[in-house]
Chains A and B, each alone.
Chain A
Amino acid sequence: MTETLSDLDRRLINRLQDDLPLVPHPFATLGEELGLSEQDVVDRVRQLRDDGLLTRFGPFFDAEALGGAFCLCAMSVPKDRFEDVLTKVNAHAEVAHNYERDHKLNMWFVLATESRGDIMRTAKEIEHDTGLEVLLFPKKREFFVGFRVNA
């Protein structure tokens, strides 16, 4: 898929992973950098989003700064109970992401709640619903990452 991207699309995707200026015409600023008109930039970005190469355009919020709380959790789910447990875990709206991973701890999910206390309460509810232990891995420190996908 990557080979069908034009050079321009690559430059746009890479540039859009950096911060855009807070000005009335942000796409005009981008256009000046890339040698395109404002409308061309808007159209290309829209196309990239419609094609699914960009998932979202807008502000990225630090949810903790908004007063939310997050916690990575893990469970060791017996194989023959996996789908049943999954249904019970995912039924909680507080479960924001959930991944199956190839480890004895095979279900890893993130709880996202509006307050710290809700993390523990939700974890207890999940333990009650499933009869399985929920391990909590709250972040103690986040290290700055400079990750970019090079399109």
Chain B
Amino acid sequence: MTLDPKDRAIIEATQAGLPLVPQPFAVVAETLGIGEAELLERLDTLKQQGVIRRIGAAPNHYRLGMTANGMSVWDVDDTLVDDLGDQIGALPFVTHCYRRPRALPVWRYNLFAMVHGASREEVLAKRDRVADLLGNACQASDILFSTRILKKTGMRLRGKKG
């Protein structure tokens, strides 16, 4: 989609976060040279378009004791995977859930569900709940624990070129 230049400026001004003051939107609006009401209206439109998922805070999983994460991967019947994916995404401990293409012969798994927990044991127990839910629709599975974060910069919209 093509972004309106004002919307693009709003995204660039807020993607690192909002100021923690009583009127955060008024502060951002002032730096952008628009009114607070216009900013709120544009943010609301971006939300309705799905560009903004929500406004809130991200907790630090590690500091809240969620120190283990496993990428559980599943080889699920292609005719059932979408229905089952919806059910697995709804489990309270699954942070991301995607259907992805297989890469045969080295990679047979088509469903990816990221599972967080306080320990590997907890993550494995949660993985078992996913396995129960998939039942016979699943032919094989694996779980890949992360052993090291090698890079974590996230996505940033860059300034417009030219």
Q: Which residues of A contact B (CB under 8 A)?
A: 1-2, 13, 16-20, 22-28, 38-39, 42, 45-46, 48-49, 51-63, 65-68, 70, 72, 74, 76, 86, 90, 95-105, 107-109, 112, 114, 135-149, 151
Contacts and interface: CB of A to CB of B under 8 A. Distances in A.
Interface in B68-113: 71, 82, 85-86, 88-90, 92-101, 103, 106-107, 112
Interface in B6-42: 11, 14-18, 20-26, 36, 40
A65 B56 contact: no
A135 B144 contact: no
Contacts of B151: 90, 95-98, 109
A100 B64 contact: no
Contact of A38 (B22, B43, B44, B112): B22
A100 to B, nearest CB: 4
Contacts of A102: 144-145, 147
The 4 lowest CB-CB distance pairs between A and B, nearest first, are A143-B89, A98-B150, A16-B57, A98-B151
A53 B58 CA distance: 9
Of B1, B59, B93, B158, most buried by chain A (CB within 10 Å of CB) is B59
B13 to A, nearest CB: 10
B22 A105 contact: no
Interface residues of B, number: 76
A105 B40 CA distance: 45
Contact of A145 (B17, B44, B94): B94
Given A13-B64, A61-B15, A142-B97, A18 B54 contact: yes
B100 to A, nearest CB: 4
A51 to B, nearest CB: 8
A9 to B, nearest CB: 11
Contacts of B15: 58-59, 61
